[in-house]
């Protein structure tokens, strides 16, 4: 039995390789706006924290150091407006993608259970359900789902790929519905600190959850806001009744964030200034790319937060990918994120200033 053919979809990025080769043949080189990987320096204070913890010969703890837990608790209160968060409400993880992919398995889900996620979504939500051999369903409105067998409901605000932000009212209604039906809510909020035309709200905010963390867990990452994708630093915050058993599972699995990364994460969460600086970089790149794309005949939808522009020329996404590849610009086809994205492309703003200028020049020539 083939694991890939029987349990997992084909890896979508392999389909982009011919277009990448076309873009790379441009005389001035490729401008790769397909993957949202950070390109700017890791903040100096974070690098110092990492090197200061480099002499770490022993095993790190799965639950994280007290210093890291303190930093997560402080950040959740300061940035999310969360109340009553303690060490028992938080859990470091080895990057948020690992968590998304393996959470259904770690929660004990399997055949007969269902996992729900947005119709336009990061594909790893579906992958996680498939790895657990659970069923999966995509939704437009989660409160219209059939709750039978539904054990895990993924929210994603700001959204990857669309940049859509769920309002406080939408979040409140969804949390109430999930609690009524005994469904665990996992809110992927990895882009929460990158709101542009909207101010994203966490499910941990008391206006959303009524002051209770029951049945809700939020997912956060330092990859985007602190340029720490290479450090694999992320964490969960929410219901201790969920995180406590999950901690035990992860202890058995040896899922430990490296000690130097834990020290770096604590430093990053304690410093808001570098986030402000990075936001300004992304805001400038986003504005330049948005102007160039709309001037080139694109329409931008949603995109009020996050690191992507959700753009369309009202044609097949692969025609758009080919059109831009001929100009040396590589973007992600929207159908990577579900059939509903078949006429859109996702344009990342995570290129250097020089590469963004190159893309703008090619789009406006």
At 182-233, the pLDDT tens digits run: 999 999 999 999 999 999 999 999 999 999 999 999 999 999 999 999 999 9
Averaged over 98-121, what is the pLDDT? 97
Q: Which of 240, 271, 302 is the last residue of a domain?
A: 271
pLDDT reported for residue 5: 52
Q: Is the pLDDT of residue 236 over 80?
A: yes
CB 33 within 8 A of CB 348: yes
* pTM for the predicted model, two decimal places: 0.94
Task: Examine the domain organization and report whether 172 and 88 are in the same domain.
Answer: yes
In which band, very low, low, confident or very high, does the pLDDT at 6 lie, cut at 50, 70 and 90?
low
Residue 135 has pLDDT above 50, yes or no: yes
* Average pLDDT of the chain to the nearest whole number: 96
- The domain total for the chain is 2
* Domain-ending residue, one of 225, 256, 271: 271
Could you tell me the residue range of the domain that residue 226 belongs to?
44-271
Q: Which residues pair with 305 in a beta bridge?
A: 195
| Residue 33, pLDDT score | 98
What is the total residue count of the chain?
365
Cα–Cα distance list, 288 to 28, 305, 309 (Å): 19, 15, 11
Are 101 and 219 in the same domain?
yes
In terms of domains, do 135 and 153 share one? yes
Q: Is the dihedral of CA 142, 175, 97, 166 positive or negative?
A: positive
Percent of the chain with pLDDT over 90: 95
pLDDT confidence of residue 12? 75
In this prediction, residue 139 has a pLDDT band, given cuts at 50, 70 and 90, of: very high
* pLDDT at residue 3 in the model: 47
Taking the C-alpha atoms of residue 155 and residue 187, their distance in angstroms, rounded to an integer, is: 5
Residue 293 sits in the same domain as residue 203? no
Q: Please give the pLDDT value at position 1.
A: 43
Residue among 318, 360, 289 nearest 28 (CA): 360
Give the orientation angle of helix 273-295 with respect to helix 353-364, to 10 degrees: 10
Q: 13-47: per-residue pLDDT in tens?
A: 789 999 999 999 999 999 999 998 999 999 999 99
Same domain, 115 and 217: yes
Indicate which CATH number applies to the domain containing 37: 3.90.1150.10
Mark whether 26 and 50 lie in a shared domain.
no
8 and 95 housed in the same domain: no
């Amino acid at each position: 039995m083939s694991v890939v053919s029987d349990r997992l979809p084909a890896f979508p990025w392999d389909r982009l390789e011919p277009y990448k080769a076309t873009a790379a043949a441009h005389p001035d080189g490729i401008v790769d706006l397909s993957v949202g990987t950070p390109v700017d320096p890791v903040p100096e204070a974070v690098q110092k924290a990492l090197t200061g913890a480099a002499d770490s010969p022993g095993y790190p703890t799965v639950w994280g150091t007290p210093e890291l837990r303190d930093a997560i608790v402080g950040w959740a209160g300061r940035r999310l407006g969360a109340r009553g968060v303690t060490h028992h409400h938080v859990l470091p993880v080895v990057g948020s993608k690992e968590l998304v992919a393996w959470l259904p398995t770690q929660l004990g889900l399997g055949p007969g259970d269902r996992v729900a996620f947005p119709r336009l979504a990061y594909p790893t939500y579906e992958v996680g359900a498939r790895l657990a051999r659970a069923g999966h369903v995509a939704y437009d409105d989660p409160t219209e789902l059939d709750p039978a067998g539904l054990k895990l409901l993924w929210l994603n605000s700001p959204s990857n790929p669309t940049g859509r932000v769920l309002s406080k009212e939408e979040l409140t209604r969804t949390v109430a519905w999930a609690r009524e039906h005994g469904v665990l809510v996992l809110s992927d909020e990895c882009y929460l600190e990158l709101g542009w035309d909207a101010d994203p709200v966490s499910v941990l905010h008391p206006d959303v959850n009524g002051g209770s963390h029951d049945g809700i867990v939020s997912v956060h990452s330092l990859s985007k806001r602190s340029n720490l994708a290479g450090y694999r630093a992320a964490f969960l915050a929410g219901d201790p009744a969920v995180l406590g058993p999950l901690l035990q599972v992860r202890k058995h699995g040896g899922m430990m964030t490296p000690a130097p990364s834990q020290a770096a994460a604590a430093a990053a969460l304690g410093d808001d200034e570098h986030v402000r600086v990075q936001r300004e970089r992304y805001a400038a790149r986003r504005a330049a790319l948005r102007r160039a794309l709309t001037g080139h005949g694109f329409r931008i939808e949603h995109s009020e937060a996050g690191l992507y522009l959700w753009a369309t020329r009202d044609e097949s996404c692969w025609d758009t990918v080919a059109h831009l590849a001929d100009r040396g610009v590589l973007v992600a086809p929207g159908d990577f994120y579900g059939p509903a994205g078949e006429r859109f492309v996702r344009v990342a703003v995570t290129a250097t200033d020089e590469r963004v200028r190159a893309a703008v020049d090619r789009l406006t020539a």
